[in-house]
Amino acid sequence: MIRECEVHGIFDGELCPACNSEGKFVMNGRERDQIGRRMAGILRHFPEKFDLEMDINGWVSVRELSNALARKDKRKHWLRDRHIKAVVDTDPKGRYEIRGGNVRATYAHTVEIELDLPTDNIPELLFYPCAREELDTLLEGGIHPGGRKWVHLSKTITSAANAGAVHNFRPAIVEIDTIQMIASGNTIFHAGTTVYLTEKVDPVFCAQVPYDDTEYSLMLEEWGEEE
């Protein structure tokens, strides 16, 4: 359940985690998830289907977005700008960003945009999941974005493994040497909470995370790995 504390703002749950007050009801979790899924589609892939104008950096007007969502789904006639903000504020992965009166997705775009995300404080290592049968190909040929506009890298082995498990059972994990990448002139953007974006990763910066790595071996144990 999404509620709003008068002092501490939007929160997800029954009581404000800062002051323990009930706050004011905003929407339930199911409504938040429905709106979030529709926002992801619009802001990452098809703003034109909702007659929305997106600028070169991926920004769309919050007011126009809320009006478009309410107009397309009469069951969401109650939807206002504050509900868009609530979805953004309670998203655990940082999928969206609000600046002024505009909102955008921070990653996973298929539409053409120019990123203006931060490029500082990049971790020394990032990680990328893949199917085990694809591992040798990536280590030899590097990582390319495929159907997306950018290669998506993860901050930790665990977050990479969780992302990879959506499509591949017990994914292999590639370790990326970002110090050498950046020193060689490559740009890495920080998008969302644990996601980083880059155009491609050359094979010289890639190495396999061994299965006996502590963090990775614990993930494999959870999946019932017997190797």
Output the six-digit token pair for 142.
């590097």
Cα angle, residue 56 at apex, residues 188 and 192 outer, rounded to 5° = 40
Mean pLDDT of the chain: 90
Does the pTM surpass 0.85? The reply is no
Tell me what pLDDT residue 224 has.
Answer: 61
Greatest alpha-carbon pair distance for the chain in Å reads 55
**Amino acid, single-letter form, for residue 166:** V
Q: Which residues contact 171 (CB under 8 A, 6 or more apart)?
A: 129, 130, 131, 132, 160, 161, 164, 165
Q: Which residues contact 123 (CB under 8 A, 6 or more apart)?
A: 155, 178, 196
Q: Any idea where the domains of the chain sit in the sequence? A: 2-105, 125-222
Domain range 2-105, CATH architecture: Orthogonal Bundle (1.10)
Which pLDDT tens digit goes with each residue over 176-222? 999 999 999 999 999 988 899 999 999 999 999 887 766 767 766 66
Reduced to 3 states, what is the DSSP secondary structure of residue 125? strand
Which pLDDT tens digit goes with each residue over 59-68? 999 999 999 9
CATH of the domain spanning 125-222: 3.20.170.30
Residue 132: pLDDT above 60? Answer: yes
